[in-house]
Amino acid sequence: MRDTRLPAKRGACALILCGLAAAPAASGQSSGGGSVYVATPKVSKVTCLRKCASRDRARGGSVLKVLGTELGGVNAVTYLGSYGSGDDTTVKVRAGGERRLNARVPIGAVTGPIALATSSGARSAPTKPVLILPPLPPEPNPELSPVPGPGVTGAPRLETGTSRTKAFVGARPGVTFSFRLSGASAAALKLELVSATDGVAVKTWTPQQVAPHQVQSISWDGRLGRMAAKPGRYSFRLTAATADGAEARNSQAGDVGRDSFDLYDNIFPVRGPHDFGGEGAKFGSGRAGHSHQGHDVFARCGTRMVAARGGRVKFKQYHAAAGHYIVIDGDGTDVDYAYMHLDQPSPFDEGDRVYSGQTIGAVGDSGNADGCHLHFELWSAPGWYDGGKPFDPLPSLTAWDSWS
Ligand SMILES: [Zn+2]
């Protein structure tokens, strides 16, 4: 099915306090001889109420105040994020009044419109983008440290550590969880990766038993099989049980943040000072004979450039206008990523696999470029000059820039 929420249709919105896209009004539907009234929620204003990043900006963990009409039956709010449904997150909300409700911003939510749904299936139009900054980072625990708390009599003592608090889908190395047991030996070990957004374990490992005091590690690259996991906060949850059933866990009540990290779906490709240019840098701005199909990110020539998202290299060529360029089919996405005007040919060739965050070249001005910059394009499926369409990459670039 075609995704109708392409970011190209959205205006960039610097503030959370935005005008709203036109929403369909409540409609009367003819049904036999009578008429069934379907109350369609309509949003007029969204503001950040509590735990906000600033007055106008929310972050994962904030509470939004939503004003509108026909809100009485609303029981869920979906944060639509950027392109595609991969980053959508839905939270339940308690029924409130007809004109107001409060909605929690899930840890994994990113900047984008929100939409309300009622228990009877009516859905509001998507709002204009709500600016959502990344959540405050989890407490780092990069070295093995003893699990706090009294522990259970007869259970092993645990030390755990998690290599990073920020991880990217498809990056190498991924995030590594390490642990060491002492005291009693464990008959059964279980490691779960739990999403903080909904408390669901998305992946489970059953590590082999090892001798006490030996360190064991497990790494994860943000993928579940061939699919990318949803962005958001995740926690490693280790349970070690003895044959008698005495259990030790790395997370005690009141320490929910231990061994947690935030997973992001993309990394900002220009790894140095940069700016997003003026009017001419924008997607859709006028060019001789066509309109601009990407967004220009200005940086000094030679600034390191990385793959925003890993994947397979589709094209690596030189073109009179684009200069040295490379196109990567984003792993686990239906999006192609194009990087142009590189100062040298990328070291990668067509068919190569690239990891997220891996260096693919440097900013340059090869081809027809006015100043050193990355001309960056995002294309929908089926791909770059292969039946897909370019869409405005600026909302994505801005979001990636805010966390990486
Ligand atoms: Zn350009």
Q: Which of 8, 3, 6 is nearest to 292 (CA)?
A: 8
pLDDT of residue 365: 97
Q: How far apart are the CA of 281 and the centre of ligand 1, in A? A: 6
Distance from residue 19's CA to the centre of ligand 1 (Å): 29
Report the distance separating Cα 165 and Cα 57, nearest Å: 22
Cβ proximity of 244 and 160 under 8 Å: no
Please state, in angstroms and rounded to a whole number, the distance separating the CA atoms of residues 41 and 100: 11
- If phi > 0 it is left, if psi is from -120 to 50 it is alpha, else beta; for residue 337 that is beta
Question: Among 13, 92, 2, which Cα is nearest to 392's?
Answer: 13
Q: Which of 335, 321, 373, 399 is nearest to 130 (CA)?
A: 399
Other CB atoms closer than 10 Å to residue 360's CB: what's the count? 24
Greatest CA separation for the chain: 76
* Per-residue pLDDT, 96: 78
Q: What is the dihedral of CA 355, 174, 222, 53, to 10 degrees?
A: -100
pLDDT at residue 283 in the model: 97
What pLDDT sits at residue 205?
97
Task: Please identify which residue in the block is written with the tokens 């793959």.
Answer: 307
* Distance from the alpha carbon of residue 295 to the mean position of ligand 1, in angstroms: 6
Ligand 1: distance of its center to the CA of 113 in Å?
26
Gap from CA of 285 to ligand 1 centroid (Å): 9
In angstroms, the Cα distances linking 342 to 43, 269, 302, 352, 368 are 44, 12, 9, 18, 11
Distance 284 CA to ligand 1 centre (A): 10
State residue 10's pLDDT score. Answer: 35
Bridge partners of 222, per DSSP, are none
Which pairing describes strands 114-118 and 42-50: parallel, antiparallel, or unpaired? unpaired
What is the sign of the dihedral through the CA atoms of 81, 83, 87 and 89?
positive
pLDDT digits (tens, 9 = 90+) for 138-185: 889 899 999 987 778 899 999 999 999 999 999 999 999 999 999 888
Which conformational region is residue 94 in: left (phi greater than 0), alpha (psi within -120 to 50 degrees), or beta? beta
CA–centroid distance, 279 to ligand 1, in Å, is 11
Residues 319-377: tens digit of each pLDDT: 999 999 999 999 999 999 999 999 999 999 999 999 999 999 999 999 999 999 999 99
Cα of 382 to ligand 1 centre, how many Å? 22
Q: Would you call 228 helix, strand, or coil by DSSP?
A: strand
The whole-angstrom distance between residue 216's C-alpha and the CA centroid of its chain comes to: 29
> Residue 4's pLDDT is what?
35
Query: What does each C-alpha distance from 65 to 75, 106, 202, 249, 356 come to in angstroms?
Result: 14, 14, 30, 37, 36
Q: What is the pTM of this model?
A: 0.77
In terms of phi and psi (left: phi > 0; alpha: psi -120 to 50; beta: otherwise), the region of 182 is beta
- For ligand 1, the distance from its centroid to the CA atom of residue 176, given in whole angstroms, is 38
Report the candidate in 307, 305, 289, 288 with the shortest Cα–Cα distance to residue 297. Answer: 305
For the chain, counts of helices (H) and of strands (E): 1, 33
Which residue stretches of the chain have pLDDT < 50? 1-33
Question: Two tokens at 43?
Answer: 């949003």
8 Å CB contact between 47 and 127? no
Please name the residues in contact with 35: beta carbons below 8 A apart, sequence gap of 6 or more.
28, 29
**Quick one: CA dihedral 336, 337, 343, 347, positive or negative?**
negative
Residue 391 Cα to ligand 1 midpoint, Å, equals: 13
pLDDT at 135: 79
